[in-house]
Chain A
Amino acid sequence: MTDLIEMSGIGKAFAGVVALRDASLAIRPGEVHAIIGQNGAGKSTLIKILTGVYRRDEGSVQMAGEDLTISTPREAQDAGISTIYQELSLVPLRSVTENVMMGYEPRTRLGLIDWKAAHARTREILARFGVEIDVTRQLGRYSTAIQQLVAIARAVSLDARLVIMDEATSSLDDQEIETLFSVVRELKKSGVAVLYISHFLSELYEICDRVTIMRDGRTVATHEVAQTTRLGLVSEMLGRDASEIAAAGQTALSGERSKPGATLLEVDGLGTRTGLRDVSFEIRKGEIVGLGGLLGSGRTESARAIFGLDKLLRGEVRHHAAPVIDTPARAIALGMGFLTEDRKADGIIPHMSVRENITLALLPRLRRFGAVDRARERELVQGYIDALQIKTSGMEQPIRELSGGNQQKVLLARWLALEPEILILDEPTRGVDVGAKFEIQSIIRNQVAKGLAVLLISSEFEELVEGADRIVVLQDGYSVTELQNPGITESALIGAMVHHHERLAS
């Protein structure tokens, strides 16, 4: 059988930094093919070459035995390759229909867009995913999960021969993931191949047929999934011995627990227009406080309110050194940092260098006669690049050229550089590979041991249960209960998150 896609001998360098060398990938028609590797292993680059976002420096790409020359994403779509990116690339202010149909709208005889047909077709496509929503409403009004499914629906609607899913499940809940998987199986039945990129190995065993492992810009191996073990995959991915990894185990957040110190911040009865109704908890020196809850329970909203981003309707945030926190600038001056969930929209400044991105929040302290103290800046930045092992060709490299995990490390460095007292981490390891995740978690743990207080939001129960000293459970904008470690189990957390809690009538 000829392979649907065959990439071989692919090489690519950015500004002299080699991202890929002799990478290869073969996908058979109608198979679900996984690709795994650490950050910077070259997964994203390889896929972007396949989809026409980047040009390859060397190597060949064939589709069904014929040479494929794709130089724009549109050409890739026309060739039958559709991509769902890790960071959503939809237009939130336009309707669901417009997003699904964009660029391929049905036309009336006059050449205008046939809206009736467009809406009907969109409804039909979404129905295949079990999504029934008002397609005429703005996409941005729906949850991230719905938006993700819309992105997938769009890809599928383009009659693709290959659908690429880059971290497609990272913001879906269990039920939505099940829906997605049934769609993947459906696609497979109808002969469409799926290229699946995920950091969750369990997903790989659930739906993938074969897996390609990449490391340091090279393709290491391709296996039938059924013939692999988790430990084997991870060891190939990290290039380490299997036994060594088995011994390490666990997530790096768990470790020595020190006694929490003085109270730094008290949150009392918060209510906001963004959906918080009554949230209370406190954060003490040297502890990790987890925020648990389902999508929409108010975790990120609580973080935003504390950091002075959203106005409080009720309640108050009492900082030990100041009565009011009304702007991020004030929060930062008080020694708080906020690593946000959405790296692209709220985090990186794409044109700026790694150096400028790291010192962004620190600028007021680098001021010397109105100018930035460049010598001190460089020294500081180099220190964090070394300490966090950020993979970059140098501090002047634009951050947009770094892999997702390294961008995340830069943003972490931005906040650590402040030497904060309280650090809010919203999904700190989302979309980050196993190795970098481990590194990020141990960096955080080290800082906590030195007295940093962390407010941790994570959709990964494991990270929360093992990492947090206490978990405040949120439900529909209320803080309903608090779990205390040691002793929290995943099932206890899930139970607390979904169980109906009686609220005091007010």
Chain B
Amino acid sequence: MSMASTVCSQFRFDPARHGALAALVVILCFNLIVTPNFLHTQTLFVNISQVATIAIVAMGMTIVIATGGIDLSVGAIMALSGALAPLIFLSPFGLANPGLGLAAAIIIPILAALCCGIFNGVMVSYFNVQPIVATLIFFISGRGLAQVLTNGNLQTISNPSFSYLGTGKILGLPFQGWLVLAIALVLWWLVTRSMFGRQLLAVGGNERAARLSGIPVERVKIGAYVICAGLSGLAGLIVVAINSASDAARIGSLMELDAIAAAVVGGTLLQGGRAPIFGAILGAVIIQLVKYTLLANGVADEVALIAKAAIIIGAVYLQQGRRD
């Protein structure tokens, strides 16, 4: 009782902090009134499976941005891991040992993604390359590598176990939704409770002070890029599982922009020092819902891009507006 009353008395509407939540409510209300069949379970499932990949990558992006960096390579890493998976379980080894093949098809692509993350992190921390340039390397070469691996072919797959990643359901809700929730809880603990989280926010808040206080700045940064890349690899697998096909040219295309947008809408400061994990999910949901709203009401896809830009501008404006 007293807990509830203190929470209520502490709550004041602050556009910078609650703006995204308010926007979500507005979009939901708009859809309830305008969009046909919005309150249909099918609509919910479509949106959850679409939003899951954006949310997973956006959470990783949030961690990287918290160090004051940025990761442009997330979409390309998705493509790389998405291309590797079918190659592995369609290989002679994978066909001969279905069980081992499936495990390898999930573990190896994610390991490959983690290696990309180590590369990004080492470039940024030890070689002092600007994050935008360092991650541009995989942004360009990662997708190329994926297309070379697959000879540019579309690979179709029909492996029910693997497809569970994309189409499975737990308690009637899509598996990816639960996955997002689980990842969010782990990352939230990491950011707010763990040593690594404290160090991460300190590096992003004031790198020189962090170094002077004995924080291993380089390792923390590498950790952030590795987490982001690993989550991107996982997102790549989910996209392949949903589509039952892998097209290296399209998986994760423009994902870096969606992820950055979701992180910013969710309240991440681009200069670093803050990592709102649930904010990133909220941002991803808003971006997905706007896309869906326009699509369901017959507005062209291109226009959705403009709407997305408008959301980002609004979010950045609210961030800037914060002052005493």
Contacts and interface: CB of A to CB of B under 8 A. Distances in A.
Nearest to A368: B195
- Among B189, B206, B215, max chain A CB count under 10 A is at B206
Given A349-B202, A363-B199, A372-B193, A14 B324 contact: yes
A340 B208 CA distance: 11
Given A349-B209, A350-B205, A367-B195, A329 B324 contact: no
5 contacts: A54-B324, A328-B213, A349-B209, A352-B201, A352-B205
Interface in B134-153: none
A347 interface: yes
B214 A371 contact: no
Interface in B179-233: 189, 193-196, 198-199, 201-202, 205-206, 208-216
Interface of A: 14, 54-55, 307, 309, 327-329, 331-333, 338, 340, 345-352, 356, 360-361, 363-364, 367, 370-372, 374, 414
Contacts of A332: 213-214
A351 B213 contact: no
Interface of B: 189, 193-196, 198-199, 201-202, 205-206, 208-216, 273-274, 323-324
Contacts of A338: 212
A302 B217 CA distance: 23
Given A328-B214, A329-B216, A347-B206, 11 more contacts: A54-B324, A55-B323, A307-B212, A309-B212, A333-B214, A349-B209, A349-B210, A351-B273, A360-B215, A372-B195, A374-B193
A331 B215 CA distance: 12
B213 A360 contact: yes
A364 B219 CA distance: 15
A340 B213 CA distance: 11
Contacts, number: 80
A338 B210 CA distance: 12
Given A332-B214, A347-B209, A350-B206, A356 B198 contact: yes
A100 to B, nearest CB: 26
A370 B194 contact: yes
Nearest to A343: B209
Contacts of A367: 195
Contact of B210 (A309, A360, A364): A360
Contacts of B198: 356, 360, 363, 372
Nearest to B269: A351
A340 B206 contact: no
A313 to B, nearest CB: 21
- Among A307, A328, A340, A367, max chain B CB count under 10 A is at A328
A325 B290 CA distance: 55
Nearest to A72: B323
Given A351-B201, A352-B201, A371 B213 contact: no
B194 A371 contact: yes
A400 B196 CA distance: 23
Contacts of B215: 329, 360, 363
Contacts of B324: 14, 54-55
A346 B194 contact: no
A421 to B, nearest CB: 15
A388 B274 CA distance: 28
A361 B324 CA distance: 30
A418 to B, nearest CB: 9
Nearest to A309: B212
Contact of A371 (B193, B201, B205, B206): B193
Nearest to A345: B208
Nearest to B211: A328
A14 B196 CA distance: 31
B209 A348 contact: yes
Contacts of A361: 213-214
A370 B205 contact: no
Nearest to A48: B324
A371 B195 CA distance: 5
Given A367-B195, A372-B193, A351 B274 contact: yes
A360 B209 contact: yes
A352 B202 contact: yes
Contacts of B195: 363-364, 367, 370-372
A332 B211 CA distance: 11
A329 B214 contact: yes
Given A329-B215, A340-B212, A349-B209, A360 B202 contact: yes
Nearest to B274: A351
A307 B274 CA distance: 29
B312 to A, nearest CB: 22
Contacts of B205: 349-352
A346 B193 CA distance: 25
Contacts of B201: 349, 351-352, 356
What 6 pairs between A and B have smallest CB-CB spacing? A329-B214, A349-B205, A332-B214, A361-B213, A360-B213, A351-B273
Nearest to A377: B198
A206 B323 CA distance: 38
Nearest to A332: B214
Contacts of B323: 55
A307 B213 CA distance: 11
Contacts of B212: 307, 309, 328, 338, 340, 346-347
Contact of B209 (A54, A55, A333, A346): A346
Contacts of A414: 213
A71 B208 CA distance: 32
Given A14-B324, A329-B216, A349 B206 contact: yes
- Among B201, B208, B211, B324, max chain A CB count under 10 A is at B324
Nearest to A349: B205
B11 to A, nearest CB: 14
